[in-house]
Amino acid sequence: MNSQSLWGPLDRPLRAVRGYPRRAPLTLAYVCLLLIGHAWIGHGLSADRAAGVLGYLSTNLDNLRDHPLPALLGSALFFDGTLTDVTSTDFVGTLITLGLGVCCFLAWAEHRWGKARAAAVFLGGHVAATLLTAVVITVALRHGWYPAAVRQALDYGVSYGAQTVLAIGTLALPRRGRLPWAVFVLAWPLGGADWTGPLPDFTTIGHLIAAALGFGLLGVPAFRRQRVRTAGLSSAAGGIGPHRGSAAESTSPAAGTKTPPPV
């Protein structure tokens, strides 16, 4: 068995990994920031200090009324999950939100639409889902569906933004895989939902709202077209056929071409 046959099946994943910093530099920087923040909270601070920082950045009702901007922006600098307890359900959530949502589909969105639009989708989903969930919590408190303690509940992380990107990332899949993927995006938050009345827990509602926002963006024409990039030197020199990033590779609904998510 020669080296070419040995590495052949791994060639495409290895090329994707090598090209990741070039195709999604903003996503890579964000992932590094999240990992640093996770290590700082978990190992760099005492338990009391870490609880104080996360409590201040939590997007609960009291914080959104007292300091909305620090809470909304600061909560997106950490992820609520584990990287070490691989047998826990929290690790599954980390794989879905940080692994698939941020590392894969946010990177795909950045490569497809550019840094600004990808960041707008992610942060827009994070902020909008948080604020709409706060409205639901307020109504639920008035009707007694949630306990009063939910006003100070600890609520932070990237999962709402990741959920929005997971939903709009349906465009990255072949047509036959889109419906099963949409079912998965909507179903996984319900798997661990807690029901204390007519509504599930507010984080489940937040994930469903974020998914709805992402699916809603699928109907926006600007998000159904791939950005037009300048052709490379080969195009300028009269290269044959479409090249990566050239206008000939622009995606439209009629073209039926898909850009797979980077993994």
pLDDT recorded at residue 232: 41
Average pLDDT of the residues in 174-178:
94
CB 34 within 8 A of CB 158: yes
pLDDT band at 9 (very low <50, low <70, confident <90, very high): low
pLDDT digits (tens, 9 = 90+) for 107-162: 999 999 999 999 999 999 999 999 999 999 999 999 999 999 999 999 999 999 99
Residue 235 has pLDDT above 50, yes or no: no
Q: Is the dihedral of CA 58, 74, 41, 129 positive or negative?
A: positive
Three-class secondary structure of residue 37 per DSSP: helix
Contact 199, 205 (CB under 8 A): yes
- On the question of pLDDT at 180 being above 80, the answer is yes
Per DSSP, the three-state class of 3 is helix
The better pLDDT of the pair 256, 83 is held by: 83
Indicate the residue type of 234: S
pLDDT for position 244:
36
Nearest CA to 102 out of 188, 160, 27 is that of: 27
Other beta carbons within 10 Å of 169: 24
Report which listed range, 5-14, 53-62, 186-195, 229-238, is most confident: 53-62
Tell me how far the alpha carbon of residue 19 is from its chain's centroid. 20
- CA neighbor of 104 nearest in space, from 13, 189, 186: 13
Q: Confidence band (pLDDT; 50, 70, 90) for 221? A: confident
Task: Find the farthest-apart pair of alpha carbons in the chain and give their distance in angstroms, rounded.
Answer: 70
* Confidence class for position 8, pLDDT limits 50, 70, 90: low
Residue range 250-262: mean pLDDT, rounded:
42
